Amino acid sequence: MTEKKAALLIGGNMGDREENLDTAIHLIHEKAGNIINLSSIYSTAAWGIEEQPDFLNQALLIQTDKEPLELLETLLEIETEMGRIREQKWGPRIIDIDILYIDDIVMDSERLKIPHPYLPERRFSLVPLVEISPQWVHPVTGKSTVQMLDECTDEGEVKEYTR
């Protein structure tokens, strides 16, 4: 199995948001791959369904030997272990772990789309991703993370969070 670099976005807006991020980071390191970089934590406005509490979000770069669908299953298991219940798309949640990209893999299956299809539209994903991986180039659009952020029309608030 070949090692791959994956960018993940973790976030949540229920319970102890800081502790939930810390727990997710610990479990990702334990079960999914070696964490090689972490962004700052950002307080972000809800996206999709806006009438809910703000999220805390953080981007991670990991080194993993898992294939994309195996990585997805591992991350879904972590969400379940942490108490995530999927009731409403884009609704409040304890934790959400999204795969933003894995190297330059392009995948479009029913279970998984890589790069994340909403990445160019989401300031809350792009701001932390630019912090840890500004040079990454979207394998479909050919745009860098910085370019995507410059062109992003999402006006949702994203501000650095201090503990």
Q: Containing H/E element for 150?
A: helix 145-151
Token couple for 84: 């995530």
User: Is 96 a catalytic site residue?
Assistant: yes
154 given a catalytic annotation: no
Query: Which of 98, 123, 150, 154 is labelled catalytic?
Result: 98
Coil, helix or strand for 34?
strand
Out of 17, 93, 122, 123, pick the active-site residue. Answer: 93
The encoded tokens of residue 66 equal 């898992």
* 98 in active site: yes
β-strands 34-38, 55-64: how paired?
antiparallel
113, two tokens:
């789309």
Indicate which residue of 17, 96, 122, 123 is catalytic: 96
Active site residue 84: yes
Query: Which position among 17, 54, 84, 123 bears the catalytic label?
Result: 84
Residues with catalytic function? 84, 93, 96, 98
